[in-house]
Homo-oligomer: A and B are copies of this chain.
Amino acid sequence: MSELITPRVLGGFRDYLPDAMMARERLMETARRVYRSYGFSPIDTPVLEYSEILLGKGGDESDKQLFRFRDNGDRDVAMRFDLTVPLARFSAMHAGELGLPFKRYHIAPVWRGEKPQKGRYREFVQCDFDTIGTLSNAADIETLMVIYDLLSAIGFTQNGQPQFGIRVNNRLILNGVLEQLGVAEKSVGVLRAIDKLPKVGREAVLAEMVEKVSLSSDQAAQVLDLLSSEADLDQLEKLLASNAKASEGVARLKELLSAAKEAGIPASAVTIDLSIARGLDYYTGTIYETFLTALPTIGSVCSGGRYDNLAGLFTKEQLPGIGASLGLDRLLAAMEELGMIGHATTPAVVFVPQFDESKLGAYMHLARRLRAAGIATEVYPEAKKLGKQLQYADRKGFRLAVIAGSDEFAKGEWQVKDLQSGSKEMIADAVLETRLLEILAAGK
């Protein structure tokens, strides 16, 4: 006998067992359904790309995080670390064929060789949607609506009320304010300081703006007062009227709020929050973050924004766009914590034991009938003792067992057992599907 190989997975990687994978598939299906309902189309790109494509020329900072190697043809290749760079490469290659505006979603794994730590993995799935090739605020409004419909469809509503809040900002406002103060070139430093506001508090942010970014105390206070105020857009409009950039930012936010309201998004779901910074220099317009009412500390579960130039590395064509990404792993962790995830390990709801081995064909026939009625049904493969078979069904989390032995076959009826309550009911063969659908609907 040869020696056994110890089965194990690489650090930072995970197996998904059925209960975890069913929850993931459900979430990805919901995302696909919502994205599609807005006309976003799916695309896919290779997991491996030329390293040059992923890193850009000379971009070595992210280098260490890449799974990068030489393939058998000695090409310098790497596994994608996000879906944005591949989208940029894809858009540059296919823009002519795709036509603009182009709306795509992409749900796929990415890899980063970061040090594994709690809640951070080297392999994880991103769920992105983007609208490329239009500057229109309609796309910004739609992005907000997609986020709203997505979180609602996932189940974050109660009595029709959203149990999440989408915070929206527009980068143009800060840029305009800094321009007005004559310190436009300091935006990255200011953003970096503001980003820390929830963690370090007002005084520390002011100090950083003065010490590291070289704003005057007065300028720092002005910026922070503006950003941390409960923004009244009408007031802001007057305040910033003399700056074109800031005015445009305010105008776009106003139009966003009014169109979203008209489209039926509850006002309680959307807050203007001028303090959200969302990355340092990639975004150039509207920015979104989404927090769960019951679990705000877990951070934003759906974030994104508008950018000016997606594919500048690959083409001279300016491709503006806007998009956001659902944080699949973070959201699943939250749903687990909030008890929103079932623990069945089978997608089937009806279990058919082999009570009488000689009736295998009849059980198989029954199961196909139920499947045709949309009821996922499993027939146990072995004619073990009924108790053993039902034990298996309990463990997997089936809802109902449909049982028949020779008595039942003779009478043309089935014994249906509720595996949660233990209650039993005899159902005539002719009405079995109808009655099972009733029981399943009632038990939801």
Q: Please list the residues of chain A having a beta carbon within 8 angstroms of any beta carbon in chain B.
A: 2-11, 13-18, 21-22, 24-25, 32, 36-50, 52-53, 56-57, 64, 67, 69-73, 75, 77, 79, 89-90, 92-94, 97-99, 101, 103-104, 109, 111, 113, 123, 131, 134, 136, 138-139, 141-142, 145, 149, 255, 258-264, 311, 313-316, 345-348, 351, 354, 360-362, 364-365, 367-368, 371, 376-382, 392, 395-396
Contacts and interface: CB of A to CB of B under 8 A. Distances in A.
Nearest to A262: B361
Contact of A44 (B16, B52, B264, B377): B16
B72 A43 contact: no
B93 A15 contact: yes
A377 B101 CA distance: 15
A97 to B, nearest CB: 7
A39 B377 contact: yes
Contact of A13 (B14, B48, B52, B138): B48
Given A50-B10, A347-B39, A348-B38, A15 B90 contact: yes
B7 A376 contact: no
A46 B13 contact: yes
Contacts of A258: 361
Nearest to A88: B7
A16 B104 CA distance: 11
A257 to B, nearest CB: 10
A361 B48 contact: no
B5 A21 contact: no
Contact of A7 (B89, B392, B395): B89
A177 to B, nearest CB: 27
Given A37-B376, A346-B41, A360-B141, A57 B381 contact: no
